[in-house]
Structure 1
Amino acid sequence: MQQLTTVEEVHESGSFRFTAEDPYGEPEEVVVVPCGEGVEAWVNRCTHEDQRFDTGRGVPMRDGQIICPRHGSMFDACEGDCDNGEAAGTTLPDVDLAERHGTVYLTDDDFEFMHEGGVDDDDDAPGSSSHLQL
């Protein structure tokens, strides 16, 4: 179980991005976003095209929905479902988390934490903790 961030930090900044090794040994970006009082984690790309939600400035969100910056499809931040735009009828791939006493942990057996921030970020560079709210 890898400690990632806190629920409070995700709610204050709007999102948290990290890179994990996927089941095929490839680096995959993951975003943690607010969901009600807690948080959820999703693979950082739209299901319609390989478009990242968070490119280093935070996940664009409005009214509890993640917005694809390319085509405007909106995904429920808690369920990952999309019911509009180019990605309608799809669901984001989820990544399992656990929250204990306000701390968020990566618990998904299919992903191994590599570093905070995006795939292209240096391991020593600060990760995405900023947000973009529309």
Structure 2
Amino acid sequence: MATRRAVAPVEDVPEETTYLFRIREAASEEEREAILLRNDDGFHAWLNYCQHYTHIKIDKGSGAEMRGDELICENHGAYFESGTGFCNFGPCEGAYLNEVDITVEDGTVYLSDDEYEFVGEGPIDDDDDLGSKSNYEF
């Protein structure tokens, strides 16, 4: 069984967008971003990367855009079901977001995925802009 690591108190997880946090892959030591959200089914966590171009983040640091219970990749217009991670519209239709295992107990969301360790809340602190790039200079 996985060791539980507290990610956030339940009351810190917004109801209409996502909570961004950092994890580290146990095997590679690579730091990644993950998003936590709540819907009518409970709480869900996914790696914070679109399945069309996996370097594009769904939550760019201020919460993911959502339409009802669907996450929206603003770069590609892909829609992902918040409870399953299934892309039901867009260029990666039929793909799934990568799930991160969590549990909720006593008012706290815990990371329970053996593949990752919890690093902290918020985005990865780097100077790389992983959004879409334009060759046009303004």
TM-score (norm 2): 0.81
Q: Of 62, 65, 77, which aligns to 1:60?
A: 65
After TM superposition, give the deviation of residue 35 of structure 1 in Å. Answer: 2.4
Give 1 or 2 for the bigger CA radius of gyration: 2
Does the 8 A contact of 1:21 with 1:111 survive in 2?
A: yes
Q: Alignment partner of 2:12: what SS?
A: helix
Aligned to 1:6: 9
**Is the alpha carbon distance of 1:88 and 1:38 closer, same or farther for their aligned partners in structure 2, counting shifts above 3 Å?**
same
Please name the residue that 1:77 is paired with.
Answer: 82
Judging by fraction of residues, say which structure has more helix.
1
Provide the residue aligned with 2:36 in structure 1: 32
After the TM superposition, which parts of structure 1 deviate over 2 Å for at least 4 consecutive aligned residues?
Answer: 6-9, 11-14
Deviation at 1:15, TM superposition (A): 1.8
Taking the aligned partners of 1:63 and 1:11, their CA distance within structure 2 comes to: 13
Q: 1:109 to 1:13 in 2, by over 3 A?
A: same
Unaligned runs of 5+ in 2: 127-138
Matched, 1:98 2:103: yes
Is the 1:7–1:38 contact (alpha carbons within 8 Å) kept by the matching residues of 2?
A: no
RMSD: 1.5
Per-residue deviation at 1:8? 2.9
| 2-structure distance, mates of 1:12, 1:84 | 23
Number of aligned positions between the proteins: 121
The residue type paired with residue 60 of structure 1 is: E
Task: Look up the match of 2:49.
Answer: 45
Cα distance in 1 for partners of 2:75, 2:92 equals: 11
Q: Secondary structure at the match of 1:90?
A: coil
From the superposition, tell whether residues 77 and 13 of structure 1 become closer, same or farther in structure 2 (CA, over 3 Å).
closer
